Amino acid sequence: MTSPYAKAALFTIRLVACGLLVISGALYSPDIFLYLSHKPSSGPVMLALKGMPMVLGRVVYAKSKALAAHLTKDLE
């Protein structure tokens, strides 16, 4: 996978995955501050929903090489 198109696709896919991880951290930050101040935080359902971007980001990052190869197979 040395094609410049494949490298660009891999970079973009990994950038999106990193963005999803950052979004998940931003969603969790108020709950972390509430936990540190000993106040009740969101319920378990809301915490699970806030964790979905993290799970999706990790899956996208794990499959990024295969996804980039699949997207650029016709360009080589």
Residue 36's CB is within 10 A of a number of other CB atoms, namely: 8
In a domain, 65, yes or no: yes
Residue 37 forms part of a structural domain: yes
* 32 belongs to a structural domain: yes
Tokens at 45, concatenated: 């359902």
Query: Which residue type occupies 10?
Result: L
Please tell me the predicted confidence (pLDDT) of residue 40. 75
pLDDT in tens, the chain (76 residues): 578 999 999 999 999 999 999 999 999 888 888 888 887 777 888 888 888 999 999 999 999 999 999 999 887 6
CB contact at 8 A, 70 and 1:
no
Q: Which domain holds residue 48?
A: 4-71
Q: Would 76 be classed as within a structural domain? A: no
Tokens 């950038």 correspond to 15
Position 76 scores a pLDDT of: 63
- Residue 61 CA to residue 11 CA, distance in Å, equals 10
- Kindly report the length of the chain: 76
What is the total count of domains within the chain?
1
Is residue 35 in a domain? Answer: yes
In a domain, 61, yes or no: yes
